[in-house]
Amino acid sequence: MKRGSKKENLGGRLGSEEIYRYWVEVRDLQSGSIRSLPLGAVTMVHIPRKKSEPQKPQEEILRLEDDSGVIEAKTLDDLATQLRERYSDERYVRTLHRQRDREAEERRANALSGFVSLIVESFVGTLSSEDAALLGRSLDTKEGNKALREIWPKIVDAYFHALCNPKQRSARSP
């Protein structure tokens, strides 16, 4: 489950958000056995069926699965209540755990970097020779391609921002 949207400055790398794993540990007081139940989150997105139908807001649902089924809750308090019903205080101790998943962060960053590289290569491959000349000879070098790969996310973000906010002018616009 991705939580903790706090950004960490990892050299401005794409996909540098912290990723955490969450789980609930259930300890049986009689036997001493411990079970770890992974906790995840699902984002429910409403897709209108008709043009006139309004878009409903996204809804995040917490999901925890154990041997007897799936528990779904909208809040941690709701999840705690359902866990308390399933694992009573008299017999169990329930504990929520969280751990930063650096391997998942690295996999995500590598995947996004690879995706950006594919987009850049595709973009460069579609340029006419005249357009490529306008961008300069640097596209023919490893350093030029690397520079384009590094700036590409900023270009895409700026383009997306311009599409979402067409009436706003940037500070650079005359």
pLDDT in tens, the chain (174 residues): 444 444 333 334 455 689 899 999 999 999 999 999 999 999 998 888 888 999 889 999 999 998 888 999 999 999 999 999 999 999 999 999 999 999 999 999 888 888 877 776 776 677 677 766 666 666 667 777 777 777 777 777 777 677 776 666 545 444
Say how far residue 27 (Cα) sits from the centre of its chain. 31
Break the chain into its structural domains and give their ranges: 20-100, 104-164
**pTM > 0.75: yes or no:** no
Q: What pLDDT score was predicted for residue 15? A: 53
Half-sphere exposure of 17 toward its Cβ, with a 13 Å CA cutoff? Answer: 11
List Cβ neighbours of 21 (8 Å cut-off, separation of 6 or more): 1, 38, 98, 99, 100, 101, 104
